[in-house]
Chains A and B, each alone.
Chain A
Amino acid sequence: MRSEASLGLKIAAIAGLLFLHLPILLIFLYAFTTEERSFTFPPPGLTTEWFAVAWNRPDIWPPLYLSLQVAALSTVLALILGTLVAAAMAGTRFFGRDQVSLLIILPIALPGVITGISMRSAFSIMDIPFSTLTIVLGHATFCIVIVYNNAVARFRRLSGGILEASADLGANSFQTFRFVLLPNLGSALLAGGMLAFALSFDEVIVTTFTAGQQSTLPIWMLEELVRPRQRPVTNVVAMVVFIATFIPILIAYYLTRGGSETAGGGK
């Protein structure tokens, strides 16, 4: 096999990557345009006033707080549940193991609209009023798989020997968990938590079904997309949402990078 790619392949690959990234840059550009009623390109002029306008718009802050609150709560729940199920699935084989792994993946494998409408019908059958809690119920459910994927990969690389060594040295299960398991799992859990936070922070499809009258930041954005008011303000918020999801993803990448070495093994 040739070690150099053909020119055609190179061009197609680079063009594909550009296709993935250039559209996002437009969001940034239009946050500075002086034209607020249409998406004229090129923008007639550039200004930074929209950042101040967005800052002073009272309708943006409550959705932002709600989104942060929901994402934090869902991440904590997903971290606990995802780690537990990863711990159970990593070392042992048991009856129904495949079914459990299917059950974990199902909430993101099926289209979000199905999760959404299912939860909505369940809430209406059980007369549960919509609240922040109902949003969290939905988000935590599809965040579990994200934490699980990160944690289970780390569990697999963790050599069983270090847990046995800890027991041999007289540590009980809880000490082993605190002083051996947790430090080894730490970065994987942090990465999983970051991704779960990013996913929850910008989730819109399930949220529209479980939020009732409340709005999260993505729901606020969706309303602005359907009925635009000051378009550049939407761009400013879109930039904030993009950066708020971009940074955790980047951190998660660096935390789990180069993960081929097995902790406690090899030497």
Chain B
Amino acid sequence: MTAPAIIPPRGLADRLTTLFWRHPRLLLSLLIAPPLLWLGVVYLGSLAALLLQSFYSIDEFSGLIVHEFTLKTYGELLRPSNADVILRTLGMAIAVTIASAFIAFPIAYFAARYAKGRWKAAFYLGIMLPLWSSYLVKVYAWKLILAKEGILTWATEATHTSWLLNAALSLPGVGGNSLSTSYIGTFLTFTYVWLPFMILPMQASLERVPNSMLEAAADLGATARQTFRTVVLPLAMPGIVAGSIFTFSLTLGDYIIPQIIGTSASFIGMAVYQLQGTAGNIPLAAAFAVVPIVIMLIYLSLAKRAGAFDAL
């Protein structure tokens, strides 16, 4: 009989290895403790601080924060000027989401179903690069495009379509002096900056539509249009909803774009920034910041019902 092949432990590292082997949970806890502590303390702690602040109020005479639990600050959100900010932001988020869905669909559809080999790589990079590249640079590019003396004005003059631009600018409500100082400009920039976030989940869900289903639809005599409406679109829906989570959430919280391009009208993000900065009204800023959180929680629960999480 041979001796059992057990190598004697050669120091602390081996002893620890044995310990981990006998207690796998110990290794798991050691691995997960530092990141959980970080996220729990730094991130959740901060969110808790935010929530706490939103239940404080500000003394109207001294301007100091009153550290007492009250719902007064949330009540202030309902004031017409503040409610306007929330509704304006919501309207913009909805418009941007719908527009990006329409622009994104052909790109995602082509990339998912027709692009092969080299083209597939080109489309992938073509979508990933704008997604990751500098946010401020993208916003700045649109300031250049939309400026009154900029390329768009030049292009409409060169093609004799200035009347179209002027007609758009004279629209009541959304128009303005120039594109860079109108809601149209804000809307265009938002749509541009968030578009890749819509394309990617859409493309992922379109890639998962089985070819056999399309063939079956064709065998059963469906026209291309019918196949698209009754087979492709319903199957792609989770991806569209997943993409809309990003475009919606990102538009709700952004404060740089409306500050640089658009009218002086405030959006939720701008209100938060100005209230905590110059106005020093942190409780109201915190209450404003809770609004997108609540909207997104409602949106996410609706999206979950639409199966959007399987498409992420």
Contact = CB atoms under 8 A, between A and B. Distances in A.
Interface stretch (A47-55, A114-122, A179-187, A259-267): A114-122
B144 A115 contact: no
Contact of B136 (A106, A175, A222): A222
Interface residues on B, range: 35 or more
B31 A121 contact: no
A209 B269 CA distance: 12
Interface of B, helix, strand, loop or mixed by DSSP: helix
A100 B36 contact: yes
B220 interface: no
B87 interface: no
Q: Which applies to chain A's interface (DSSP): helix, strand, loop or mixed?
A: helix
A80 B224 CA distance: 51
B224 to A, nearest CB: 8
Q: Which of A87, A121, A173 has the most chain B CB atoms inside 10 A of its CB?
A: A121
Contacts of A109: 245, 249, 296
A122 B50 CA distance: 7
A40 B149 contact: yes
B134 A141 contact: no
A94 B32 CA distance: 11
A20 B195 contact: yes
Interface string A116-137: 0111111011000000000001
Contact of A21 (B14, B49, B126, B154): B126
Interface string B241-272: 00001000110111110011000000011001
B34 A41 contact: no
Interface residues of A, number: 88
B128 A85 contact: no
A127 to B, nearest CB: 12
Contact of A118 (B21, B46, B128, B259): B46
A92 B273 contact: no
Contacts of B16: 172-174
Contact of A110 (B42, B127, B136, B253): B253
A190 interface: no
Contacts of B49: 118, 121-122, 125
B239 interface: no
Contacts of B143: 39, 225
A226 B254 contact: no
Contacts of B306: none
Nearest to A126: B49
Interface in B2-31: 7, 13-14, 16-17, 20-21, 24-25, 27-28, 31
B286 interface: yes
Contacts of A218: 134, 136
A106 B47 CA distance: 11
Contact of B32 (A100, A175, A234): A100
Interface stretch (B74-82, B103-111, B163-171): B103-111
B71 interface: no
Contacts of A92: 24, 28
Given A5-B110, A117-B285, A238 B253 contact: no
Given A17-B123, A226-B260, A245-B133, A9 B110 contact: yes
B61 interface: no
B46 A202 contact: no
B20 A20 contact: no
A10 B260 CA distance: 34
Contacts of B24: 92
Interface string A183-222: 0000000000001001100111100110000000010011
B38 interface: yes
B253 to A, nearest CB: 2
A218 B134 CA distance: 9
A225 B260 contact: yes
A12 B106 contact: yes
A202 B135 contact: yes
Contact of A204 (B43, B253, B256): B256
Contact of B133 (A2, A107, A173, A242): A242
Given A118-B49, A121-B49, A141 B273 contact: no
Contacts of A19: 103, 192, 195
A161 interface: no
A242 B132 CA distance: 10
A244 B131 CA distance: 15
Interface in B210-237: 211, 214-215, 218, 224
Q: Which 4 A-B pairs have the closest CB atoms?
A: A111-B253, A12-B106, A13-B110, A118-B46
5 contacts: A9-B114, A19-B192, A19-B195, A85-B31, A250-B125
Interface of B: 7, 13-14, 16-17, 20-21, 24-25, 27-28, 31-32, 34-36, 38-40, 42-47, 49-50, 52-53, 103-104, 106-107, 109-111, 113-114, 123-130, 132-145, 147, 149-151, 153-154, 192, 195-196, 211, 214-215, 218, 224, 245, 249-250, 252-256, 259-260, 268-269, 272-273, 276, 282, 285-286, 289, 292-293, 296
Given A16-B106, A41-B154, 7 more contacts: A13-B123, A19-B103, A20-B192, A92-B24, A110-B253, A113-B268, A253-B124
